[in-house]
Structure formats: C-alpha cells, structure tokens
Amino acid sequence: MKSKVIEPKLVNEEITGPRYWRSLDELIENPEFKNFIEKEFPLGASELAGVNRRHFIKIMAASFAAAGMGMAGCRRPIQHILPYSKQPENVIPGVPVYYASSHPSAKDNQPILVETHQHRPSKIEGNSKYSPYGGTTDIFTQASILDLYDPDRSTKSSKGTQSISQGMVYDLLQNIHAKFLSTEGQGLAFLADQSTSPTRARIVKEIKRIFPRSTWAEYEPVNFDNPEIAARRLFGRRLRPQYHFTKTKRILSLDADFLNIEPGKLANSRDFAIKRRVKNSKEATKMNRLYQVESNFSVTGAMADHRLRLSSGQIPAFTALLVIELLRQKSIQSPLSEELKKKASNLDTNPHWIQECVTDLLAHPGKSVVTAGSHQPVEVHELVYFINDLLDANGHTVTYLNIPNYSASTIQDLGVNLENGRIETLIIIGGNPVYNAPHDLNWLELQKSVNEVIRYGYFFDETSIEATYHISATHYLESWSDGRTFDGTIVPVQPMIRPLFEGMQELELLARLAGIKKADPYTLVKKNNY
C-alpha cells in the first residue's frame, strides 16, 4: 500500500532562508528606507557626470602606475646651496651671532642676548653681563621672539579696510602736527603704554612743550605703580623700593609674589635662593625665613616657611593689625593704634600667628623686611613704609630708588575729557584699551565718540577695528630704543633685523608727531649721549 505522505506546504521563510534585518525600518519595510538602499549611496554622494566611478578609478590607477615607472619618487631631490652674492662681513654661515638688547616692559627692561642666524633672531636668553639677573629672563621675554614671526601680526597700516602706504602715514602724522600746533594741542589726546625709555620720556616732554593743552595719558591693564604712588604721597617724591634679599634674614610678604610676578623678580629670586643655600645643618641658622600672607597659592607661597591664607581684600586690615602689634611689642604709645584698631575690627585671624611673626621680625632689626603686593591699595604700601621704618629695614634691607619726575594722566582722567567731548583726535600708542580698559569707563563708547582715532599697534585688534587709522608697529627686535632695568640701569634696545613688514618704530612715530626734524630712532637715541 502506498502510504500517502502529505508534504507540508513550504512557507516563505523556508524558500529564502531566515530573513535577517538590520534595522527596524527594514523589518517593517518602511518604503522610504527601501528607496534609500536602492540608491546604494545616500544623498549627496552624487555621481560624476560623464565618467562613472569605476572608469575613473581605472584611469587613475593607470596614471599612478605610469608615474611609478620612472621611479621619480625614489630619486634624490635636487637641493641647492645658495651662497651670498657678496658675503657680508662678520657673518659665518652656520655660526650664530649674538646681539645685546633688552626686552621693553613697563617697569623693567630685561637685558638680553639674542641669537641670530644670518641675522634672523632665533632665541632669546638673558645677558649675564648684567649681574643682578645673572643671565636670566622671565617667560614674557622668552616668548617675545615668537611675536616677531607671528602670522597674525599687523603687516600694513590701514584706514578702515583699506591699506595705506608708509608715505601716507608720514603725511597723516605731519598733518596732525601742523593742525594742532596753532591750537597748542587743544583737542589732542594720547593714550600710551608705560615705558622705561629715557628717549621716549624726552620726546614726550617735547610733545607736552609744543602741545601744552593736549592730554598725555598712560595705561597698563596690570600695573605696579602703587608703591611709587604711596611714596609720593608720603615723601613728595617718586621712590621705588628695592629689596636686598641677600642681606635679609626674615621676610614678611603681604600678598606679594615677589619671586614670580613683581618687577625685580629675577634679582629677587636669585638673592632669595642665595640665602637658602646651605651646606649642612650647622649652617641652618644662616638661612632666611619667609612668612607669606596670601590669597593665592603663588610661587613665593610655595617657598614660604609659614603661610597664612587670607583673601586679598583682608590684607589692609591685616596690615593694620601688624602695625598695632609692632607698636605694642616696641612699647610705643601712638594714637595711630586706636585708629587702626577700628579698621581691623572685623578681621578674624589668628592673633598668635601675628604675634610670633612680629616677635621674629623684631628679633632681627635691620635684617628683616616687609613687602606688599603692588596690587594692594596705596594705604597698605604707606603702612609698609612705616613698618619697615619700625624694623630698621629702610636703608638696610630695602632702599629707595629716585625715579626721574615724569607725569602722565590716568586713563580715568582721559575718560573724563573724552566724555566732555573736548577731544577731536585721540592717538592710542600700543595697548588694547577696547579689550582691557576698566569696564566702568565704557571705553568702546568713549572711543567711538571721538572724531579721529589713530591707533599705533602691533596687532590689528579690537582697538584697531574701532579706530579711524591703524598704524602698523615694528617688533622691538626691529627697533632702536633704550630703557632702564628695575634698578635704573640704562640698557639699549637694538634691532637685529630690518623690519619684516612695513612698520613704524615707536620713537619715530612720536618724533614725527612732535615735529622733530631728524626722526630716525637711532639718531634720537644717540642724542642722549650715553
């Protein structure tokens, strides 16, 4: 008997095998998705018109093969040696030449030696001939070489969006000079960086002489002026404290990062380190001791033996307590104590710390010193002068350098003049006030309200955008000038290389504005007869 086998009907799945899917869209057979995979390439990957892809690759492969046939890539590339046409003197190809110069800054021109290869500056190091700094520099000086080759530096002077030639800049300066000569500078204002250059000071004097009614203001976003301002208030003279840490055994620093930030830091850190270097435990008594009261964990704080945390705003009160304690321990009766007590009333700090610190300072008369950070208010610096007097430090561990009298308005004074609409022409030399002027001034609006703004700067920056004219500046390695170190030593600024771009040197700009006939900076500097 033939048994009947009922073949089960094949279901769809068994014909095609199990159905795999890669996404839920595919599983539910979304029509949009179907359309998408059919096109093979997603939108955007459009096909080459005329040539199809396979054909294109075929041709490319053939041309690569043909290029390889000659083995051009394996050949040695031809290099040239290009000697001078006429070899200049004192240039030995491959041997660097070093030039002495200095890096200008607001208070301290650091003496440097610049390594140059075929007159291209390549590296800056301190000039060891200047013994207080012993051949050291700070990070700003080190990095300043990069500015020279900065692709963002301004390469051309401009009026609005149009570049103007050097000749037009000369005319512009000449016109300003002529225009304001008759009005004695009425309506003319300057805003400049601070500078240590005696030559610049001389030209500024000349500008003030011929334009007596103009305003000359100087501004640094971070300045170190307060100790000097305090000295002028107390003694009627500009004096600059100079610390001698080689002679100092006890140091109290009030929020002063004198090893890393304050001007003179290079000398300070060398001197400080000398008093720390001892050979064995017997010499330990020769070491100095540093008390640091600060708001920020600074480099100096890291060296401190005793460190007290205190916010910057509380330093004035702390200084008051310090004076009170000093007077008490020296048994001096003074009405000052009562007054200071009021100031310090709501400071909550460890009285024991102050007591011990003062005792230690007093135990080393003439060998201890107190210093305060330049950002602290003038009152603190006044008290510090007094404290150093009580400690017999003045003249021993801290001396005072006479600074030539030189007066400049502040940016706030200038702001008032601008607000009154009395300024027609504003000349901004360096800086970048639109970016970093005190916010309360609303500098951008003030600057916009002036008829004609001339900006002399190294970068075409926020201030230049808002100016009528931008005059391109040279780098200091392309300029003649002079300056002073923090202790007043005169140092040169000399060029290593012709300006890479059409730029103007600061001294020349000022001299042209002052109408000086020989505006060549080298001549101007030479006139000082060093």
Partner 1 sequence: MANIFPKWSNSIPKQIIIAAALITIALTLGATYYATPKYLRVGYQPIQPVAFDHSLHIDQLGMDCRYCHTFVDRSEHSNIPDSATCMNCHNQIKRDSPALAPIRESWSTGKPVPWVRIHKTPDYVFFNHAVHVNRGISCLECHGKVDEMEVVYHAKSHSMKFCLECHRNPEAYIRPVDKVFDLDWMPDSEEQQLIMGKEMVHNWKVNPPQSCSGCHR
Which chain residues interact with partner 1 by CB under 8 A?
76, 78-87, 92-95
Smallest distance from partner 1 to CB 122, Å: 15
For 60, the token pair is 């490319």
For 521, the token pair is 């900076």
d(CA 451, CA 468): 8
Q: Which is nearer to partner 1, 86 or 342 (CB)?
A: 86
Q: Which is nearer to partner 1, 17 or 73 (CB)?
A: 73
Smallest distance from partner 1 to CB 89, Å: 12
d(CA 190, CA 175): 16
Residues 6+ apart with CB under 8 A from 238: 228, 231, 232, 402, 403, 404, 405, 406
Smallest distance from partner 1 to CB 82, Å: 4
Bridge partners (DSSP) listed for residue 398: 243, 394
Smallest distance from partner 1 to CB 477, Å: 24
Q: Which is nearer to partner 1, 87 or 175 (CB)?
A: 87
Please identify which residue in the block is written with the tokens 């060398």: 270
Q: Which is nearer to partner 1, 93 or 365 (CB)?
A: 93
User: Residue 158: CA atoms inside 13 Å, Cβ hemisphere, count?
Assistant: 16
Smallest distance from partner 1 to CB 149, Å: 20
Q: Taking the CA atoms of the chain, what radius of gyration do you get in angstroms?
A: 35
Pick from 404, 366, 420, 466: which is nearest to 160 by CA?
466
3-state secondary structure of 409: strand
Q: Which is nearer to partner 1, 68 or 488 (CB)?
A: 68
Q: Quickly count: other Cβ atoms within 10 Å of residue 319's Cβ.
A: 28
Output the DSSP codes for 415-478. Answer: HHHHHTT--SEEEEESS-HHHHS-GGG-HHHHHHTSSEEEEEESB--HHHHTSSEEEEBPPGGG
Residues 6+ apart with CB under 8 A from 436: 221
d(CA 370, CA 286): 19
Smallest distance from partner 1 to CB 496, Å: 20
Q: Which is nearer to partner 1, 86 or 277 (CB)?
A: 86
d(CA 292, CA 218): 32
Residues 6+ apart with CB under 8 A from 158: 164, 460, 469, 470
Smallest distance from partner 1 to CB 78, Å: 6
Smallest distance from partner 1 to CB 85, Å: 5
Residues 6+ apart with CB under 8 A from 233: 378, 382
Q: Which is nearer to partner 1, 76 or 498 (CB)?
A: 76
Q: Which is nearer to partner 1, 118 or 312 (CB)?
A: 118
Smallest distance from partner 1 to CB 120, Å: 15
Residue 504 per-residue DSSP state: B
d(CA 34, CA 143): 60
- Burial of 215 (C-beta count, 10 Å sphere; 0-12/13-18/19+): buried
Smallest distance from partner 1 to CB 129, Å: 24
Q: Which is nearer to partner 1, 17 or 83 (CB)?
A: 83
Q: Which is nearer to partner 1, 83 or 335 (CB)?
A: 83
3-state secondary structure of 180: helix
Smallest distance from partner 1 to CB 123, Å: 16
Smallest distance from partner 1 to CB 71, Å: 12
Q: Which is nearer to partner 1, 85 or 420 (CB)?
A: 85
Q: Which is nearer to partner 1, 93 or 421 (CB)?
A: 93
